[in-house]
Amino acid sequence: MTTQPESSTSTRPTGGDHPQDKARCREGLDPFFSSAHGFATDGKVHLNGNSLGPPRDGLTGELENVVHGQWSARQVQGWFRDGWLDLPRTIGDKLAALLGAAPGQIVVAGETTSTTLFNALIAACRLREDRPVLLVETSSFPTDLYIADSVARLLGRQVVTESGGGFDLFLQENGTRVAAAVAAPVDFRTGERRGIGPTTALCHAVGSISVWDLSHATGVLPVDLDANDVDLAVGCGYKYLGGGPGAPAFLYVPFRLQQAVDLPLSGWHGHARPFAMSPTFEPASGIDRGRTGTPPLLSLVALNHALDPLLHVGIHALHRRSRELAEFFLECLELSRPDLLEQLVSPRDADRRGGHLALRIPGAEGVEEALAERGVLVDSRPPDLVRFAFAPLYVTREQVRHAVHHLSDVVKEAR
Ligand SMILES: Cc1ncc(COP(=O)(O)O)c(C=O)c1O
Ligand SMILES: Nc1c(O)cccc1C(=O)C[C@H](N)C(=O)O
């Protein structure tokens, strides 16, 4: 099923008859966002694209072609004759356009974000052998904390966690002891932004390596990796990118560090000449050294397929649209449920948010379930947060209005 044009969305129109509301719901300012884009949304409102976006139409055909047209026809030769071997770089270069990086600095090795972060963090520590501290943002997604802890134990370093302004303050005061500083430009719970530029500049001032987890920003927020002089970055492929369940993660290593990084996952696909089958490891010269083993081809194909509409629209328009949807959500809430708006745990200022926001609602998990029964998909995070993500390609204003209406009902019923 494809996303319907805004005016004929497949969910039942409800509430929101305020004239101002109607005017705001009139689409057409940006023709791209008022037409169908082809996502298998199954008639549901997907406000959980920061967990797992819906599939783009045409994916099954794409996979069919790889399985029957390439794999069954040419077997292992597919790696050489069907562009399979190039995909980690092909996709990396597409991602570069979304992340503000020149081509040749991003690779999709086929690993998870957790593995890729492990790889990046050890490489960062190897660039700063004499520094004892790994600084990690306290409110990081748990996997980042777990991985940092493991890396620290493995290398005999120490993890320090700091939150908000304390993170930058620690860098200012103790930065010369910090090997690597790990943070995210968007808080996975609240959607609050951290400026990549200022924190990276602070890292550089004290000689630390900045390592960014871009999972909640990629495909919805410009991060300008090159302009911000970022050292290392990772991010996942299944959220706003829509690469599908378990879509592989990416690794960014800027040109200036590519020769210097010593990545611990030195698999044969990261070798300068993988098919020479040499007994000793010699890293590839550029970003290819970020490859590991044989990549999960079908997952790469799915991710590659998902990226085209994002590239077509461009990251700045995607961000504008997501922002506009989030603002509309908050305006609808203000009109119909100001009490719920008071439970916003995210910044009210759109400049300070990424693509999602969160409300504190007791019984958040029950609210998530009740909304899902009404075709509105959100996610809850313990203990009491309900998150709403505004993916620009398949969420419409009309759907946002329905979501607020249903949210209001569900919370009323729960009380
Ligand atoms: C910020 C962040 N990093 C990492 C992950 C986990 O990545 P993976 O499951 O690919 O290892 C997630 C979500 O699952 C996340 O939100
Ligand atoms: N990666 C996930 C999974 O395998 C199952 C359920 C949810 C997820 C998520 O992506 C969670 C997400 N990173 C979050 O921000 O909470």
Q: Answer whether 141 contacts ligand 2 (Cβ < 6 A).
A: yes
Is there a single domain that holds both residue 98 and residue 219?
yes
Range of the domain at 128: 85-309
Active-site hit among 89, 94, 157, 239 = 239
Q: Answer whether 188 contacts ligand 2 (Cβ < 6 A).
A: yes
Is there a single domain that holds both residue 162 and residue 199?
yes
In angstroms, the CA 395 to CA 54 distance is 11
The interface predicted TM-score of the complex, written ipTM, equals: 0.97
- For residue range 85-132, list pLDDT tens digits in order: 999 999 999 999 999 999 999 999 999 999 999 999 999 999 999 999
Percent of the chain with pLDDT over 90: 89
Model's pTM, two decimal places?
Answer: 0.92
Is there a single domain that holds both residue 107 and residue 43?
no
Is there a single domain that holds both residue 302 and residue 323?
no
The reply to whether 321 belongs to the active site is no
Sort residue 85 into left (φ over 0), alpha (ψ -120 to 50) or beta. alpha
Is there a single domain that holds both residue 328 and residue 300?
no
What total number of domains does the chain contain? 2
Q: Answer whether 396 contacts ligand 2 (Cβ < 6 A).
A: no
Is there a single domain that holds both residue 166 and residue 269?
yes
In angstroms, the CA 276 to CA 82 distance is 21
Is there a single domain that holds both residue 374 and residue 300?
no
At CA 85, angle to CA 82 and CA 90, rounded to 5? 90
Q: Where are the beta strands (DSSP E) in 278-391?
A: 356-360, 376-377, 379-381, 385-389
**CATH code where residue 202 lies:** 3.40.640.10
- For residue range 162-211, list pLDDT tens digits in order: 999 999 999 999 999 999 999 999 999 999 999 999 999 999 999 999 99
**Quick one: pLDDT band at residue 32, thresholds 50, 70, 90?**
low
Strands 385-389, 356-360: pairing is antiparallel
**67 lies in some domain:** no
At CA 125, angle to CA 151 and CA 289, rounded to 5? 95
H or E stretch covering 181 = strand 178-183
